[in-house]
Amino acid sequence: MRLVLCSVALIFACLFVYETMSNFSVTVSTEITNWGLSFRENGKAPVGNATAKALKEFDAYYVGNDDEKIIYLTFDAGYENGYTEKILDTLKKHDVRAAFFLVGHYIEEEPMLVKRMVEEGHIVGNHTFNHPDMSKISDKESFRKELTSLDELYKQVTGQDIAKYYRPPQGKFNEQNLAMAKELGYKTIFWSLAYADWYNDKQPTKEQAFSKLLPRIHPGAVLLLHSTSKTNSEILDELLTNYEEAGYTFKTLDDLTADS
């Protein structure tokens, strides 16, 4: 089934800087796009540049059902910036299980934090080994290697198999990527709410963060935050409290993919 692409009103790009661990030979595929969202009404799910129905054909998701006030909390981490312990402490305080999408550099450099994520019931997902633009990888072996190299490293560190959830770096994808991920047994996870929290030298204020994260929350939200963000580490306790007081509960990606 072909994805029906709408005009992109808002594009969220997750920018990570770190040393590449290995070089893969790739060829360029066509129909490259960026995951994008259009927020049309506060409290309602945004419109993606691919529909939830079309994405599901590829075992891909960006939002849950709109009939329950449920949030699926996810974090992306290309490197450790000193804030993950505080974030994990806050999640533990609120008894919230999140998903952390990690890259090879992170798992190599922060094995104890990765183990803590696992021990405290969080899902660790695949953000690729090297964080490349996956939409430019068209040959199956290069695509597979980016994912399985991360899986293998994760098992070396934790002794467990990684959850088969994949988030494309920077939200860059195409149909061929989604099909290859599905063929490899992965579910692709996009998001329905995020904000510009990834610039270390331009961190948003609490007020700026809340101006996006509070009015735009919606039933079935897949919320993307970056654990590299100082602001996120400082506001997370209050943010989760606000959501809880508004009647929201938190579920995991296992629930999202089972219920959607």
- Give pLDDT tens digits for 135-148: 999 899 999 999 99
How far apart (Å, rounded) are the C-alpha atoms in residues 88 and 107? Answer: 16
Helix-strand-coil percent breakdown of the chain, rounded to 5? 40, 15, 45
In a domain, 51, yes or no: no
* Tokens read off for 191: 């998001």
- Where are any strands of DSSP class E within 79-220? 99-102, 123-126, 165-166, 172-173, 187-189
Query: Per-residue pLDDT for 229 more than 90?
Result: yes
Tell the burial category of 51 from Cβ atoms under 10 Å away from its Cβ (0-12, 13-18, 19+).
Answer: middle
pLDDT at 184: 97
Q: CB within 8 A of 131, min separation 6: which ones? A: 16, 18, 78, 103, 169
CB 246 within 8 A of CB 118: no
Rounded to two decimals, what is the model's pTM? Answer: 0.88
In a domain, 5, yes or no: no
In a domain, 157, yes or no: yes
**From 59, 66, 76, 255, the catalytic residue:** 76
Cα–Cα distances (Å) from 146 to 27, 48, 90, 174, 218, in that order, read 14, 26, 31, 16, 33
Band of pLDDT at residue 218, cut at 50, 70 and 90 = very high
pLDDT at 259: 64
Kindly give the pairing relationship between strand 47-48 and strand 37-38.
Answer: antiparallel
Residue 110's H or E segment, with its range, is: none
Average pLDDT over residues 92-119: 98
Domain interval for residue 206: 67-259
How many structural domains is the chain composed of? Answer: 1
**From 105, 131, 218, 226, the catalytic residue:** 226
pLDDT at 32: 59
* Tokens read off for 60: 């891909």
In a domain, 56, yes or no: no
Our answer to whether residue 226 is catalytic in this structure is yes
pLDDT digits (tens, 9 = 90+) for 57-77: 999 999 999 999 999 999 999
In a domain, 191, yes or no: yes
pLDDT at 33: 83
pLDDT digits (tens, 9 = 90+) for 16-59: 333 333 333 333 334 658 999 999 999 999 999 999 999 999 99
